[in-house]
Amino acid sequence: MNDYDKIKIRIKFKKSSDFKYISHLEMSRLFIMAARRAKINLKYSEGFNPNPKINFSFPVPVGLESLGEYADIELNEYIDSGKFKVLMNSELVSDMQIIDSVNIKDKALSLMDDIQLIQYCFFFKIPLENFYLQPAEKFSETILEGYENNNSIFSASSCFEHSSDIVNLSLFGYTKHSKDNIIFKFNDFLKYLYFLSNNMKIILEKYLKMDSYVRREGSIISPLHVV
């Protein structure tokens, strides 16, 4: 029938607007209810209290909008990932939709074991008189030079949005570190940014999680592309 020992689908989905405030458990329930309404045959665990076999990537902090969440979903019968996406999205609200999906092999590493980097984006409004922060490529250095857990950051870069005073800081943080097991803690970094923004007279306007990545032979790639 297919080349998969177990029938699994890996999805990438977004969690935006008011749905950024739901918990990890509530998010799981929403997917389960959507699958039931779509008449998708989920596989359940065995035992006294069986649960659908849905494994999510690292939980996103409550209140953080995300454009790159992932989950592996096990099914009782084969379905093409494209059809699965259409059926599920018809039962999910627009602020919590599946962006992409692939059928995966049973031997694929779990998301929690494989994801090593998470990309975040922070948007700062810079008063026009603060020209000392220019050029834009130096902004990330200015932000990070006082951050004591710098080793938890894989890379960071910044740029001005066209014709505006908004600086976009893109940051890749480790979920695990091969050498010293240091990880990037989003809430700790956010507290640091608020403290720093008061001192530098800049405004942190918004922030969001952009995506997650795995590392393969020196490159970073989407979890959808390794299965």
Average pLDDT, consecutive stretches of 10 residues, N- to C-terminus, the chain (227 residues): 71 95 93 96 89 92 95 95 97 96 88 94 80 64 89 90 80 81 92 89 92 92 88
Residue spans of the domains in the chain: they are: 7-108, 117-225
- Domain 7-108 CATH class label: alpha beta
pLDDT on residue 223:
95
Residue 211, beta-bridge partner list:
119
- Give yes or no for a contact between 27 and 15, defined as CB atoms under 8 angstroms apart: yes
Q: Which helix (H) or strand (E) holds 142?
A: helix 139-144
Closest to 184 measured CA to CA, from 173, 192, 193: 173
pLDDT given at position 1: 43
Domain 117-225: give its CATH architecture.
Answer: 2-Layer Sandwich (3.30)
The pLDDT value recorded for residue 176 is 80
Q: Hey, do 7-108 and 117-225 end up sharing a CATH topology, with the first three levels equal?
A: yes
Per-residue pLDDT, 132:
53
